[in-house]
Structure 1
Amino acid sequence: MTPIDDDAPPLDPAESLALIERERANVGRDLSPDPRLMFWPWGIAWLVSFTLFFLRFGPDGRVFVDLPAWLPLATLAFLMISAGITTGVAGSRVSRRVMGPSNRQGAMYGISWSVAYTAFSVLFSQFSDVLPEEQAGLLWAGGMVALTGALYMAGAAVWNDRQMFVLGAWVSVINIVGILLGSGWHSLIVAVAGGGGMIAAGLIGWLRLR
């Protein structure tokens, strides 16, 4: 008589634990958004827009490329809005598969980003006209980067994500260093270390999921 599945010998404890771990990892991958979609849009936005800031508003007022003064800021705003939409769509696709507190947490966290960036934009717009172009650019750039670092660390606390916390702390530190050095150096540091750091974080997260 051919044995059926119920007649198969039970797995030993080590095999059972390995099977549970594999299934848990599979579920984690299915319920996690692609890190490349979560980090690369922001990394690309920072790399491109802050490079434009550096070229137009270099250290000590140096102009490497005579771009229109409004172009770096407009590029930053457009790319950051695009990045927010991209990550929002990527996160919503995963949240549809999850019900309960985790889904609500993700929704509230996403709304927090939108509300915070809108509030900062309204606030900074009230002071941009009374500041020199260089200082206005530093206000917008430094404020938005500071907000991003804080929100990353807050999200890490919600989901107990060490990698996100490290990224948020890194962004915050380089932002402080850049602000203290001045607008030109701030743009270069954020473009290379900030944008590059986000691109690296997306790649590392993707490799870990694989």
Structure 2
Amino acid sequence: MIEEQRASALRQIYVDDRWWFWPWGFAWLVGFGLIFLRFGPDGRVFVNLPEWLPTAVLVALVVAAGVISGVTGARAYGHLAGESAKRGAYYGWAWMVAFTSMTVILIRISDQLPADLQRLVWAAVMVGLTGALHLAGGAIWLNRQLFLLGAWISVVNVAGVLAGPGWQSLIMCLAAGGGMIVFGLVASRWHRRGRPA
């Protein structure tokens, strides 16, 4: 009877992993892809878009992904109480506080940098923060998949920074955005086959 109740509870809170990872993956794939097309390596312009458009699209898609994640989390875990609920709430607040503080810092210092380095630094800091928070989430909930995703994002971010302006956007687009889409698909299949996270 205990196992039946446990299985029933897990079915109630289960969310297909694609809802967690795909909104972010598609946001990065499209957003960073547009940045690469407009601001390629060595100032190359592959598609002559208005300068403001790629960043605006990336920000809009990231906000949409955040809303989708928030709604998904609220539907899955909103009715839970206790220590797990507190951890989830604190973790959600950690994302908001961390990104707000980094935004303020970057706004303050980015005017001191050339435009190509501004894009590189903004992307590197925000993606690095995302990787670190995924690593922390994986550690908090002992979730191997989330921890591995954080490690992947962190490694890809370093590779992008080392590659430099222009190339960084392509690496973020394909390896981080595309990687997150593949990761969501694999994680969803693992859950359907009953493998633990």
| TM-score of the aligned structures, taking structure 2 as reference length | 0.90
What secondary structure, in the 3-state scheme, does the structure 2 residue paired with 1:65 have? coil
Aligned counterpart, 1:196 = 178
Aligned counterpart, 2:52 = 70
Distance in 1, Cα, partners of 2:27 & 2:120: 16
Distance in 2, Cα, partners of 1:88 & 1:67: 31
Aligned counterpart, 2:195 = none
Aligned counterpart, 2:28 = 46
Q: Is the 8 A contact 1:31 1:97 kept in 2?
A: no
Amino acid of the structure 1 residue aligned with 2:29: L
Distance in 1, Cα, partners of 2:30 & 2:184: 17
Amino acid of the structure 1 residue aligned with 2:149: L
Distance in 2, Cα, partners of 1:60 & 1:103: 48
Distance in 1, Cα, partners of 2:109 & 2:72: 34
Distance in 1, Cα, partners of 2:48 & 2:114: 17
Greater Cα offset, 159-168 or 118-127 = 118-127
Greater Cα offset, 184-193 or 73-82 = 73-82
CA 1:70/1:116 → structure 2, altered by over 3 Å: closer, same or farther? same
- Please say if 1:101 is aligned against 2:83: yes
Among residues 145, 150, 153, which one is paired with 2:132 in the alignment? 150
| C-alpha deviation, 1:25, in angstroms | 4.5
What secondary structure, in the 3-state scheme, does the structure 1 residue paired with 2:25 have? helix
Distance in 1, Cα, partners of 2:183 & 2:22: 8
What secondary structure, in the 3-state scheme, does the structure 2 residue paired with 1:165 have? helix
| C-alpha deviation, 1:86, in angstroms | 0.8
Aligned counterpart, 2:97 = 115
Q: How many residues align?
A: 192
Aligned counterpart, 2:10 = 28
How do residues 82-97 of structure 1 correspond to structure 2 at under 5 angstroms? 82-97=64-79
Q: Is the 8 A contact 1:29 1:209 kept in 2?
A: no
What secondary structure, in the 3-state scheme, does the structure 2 residue paired with 1:183 have? coil
Q: Over alpha carbons, which structure has the higher Rg?
A: 1
Backbone CA RMSD of aligned residues: 1.8
| TM-score of the aligned structures, taking structure 1 as reference length | 0.85
Q: Structure 2 regions of 5+ residues with no counterpart?
A: 193-197
- Please say if 1:135 is aligned against 2:110: no
What secondary structure, in the 3-state scheme, does the structure 1 residue paired with 2:51 have? coil
Distance in 2, Cα, partners of 1:127 & 1:72: 21
Q: Is the 8 A contact 1:178 1:186 kept in 2?
A: yes
Amino acid of the structure 1 residue aligned with 2:73: G
Deviations 1:89-121 (A, max 9, x none): 100112223110101111111111111111111
Distance in 2, Cα, partners of 1:179 & 1:188: 11
Q: Is the 8 A contact 1:34 1:90 kept in 2?
A: no
Distance in 1, Cα, partners of 2:145 & 2:128: 18
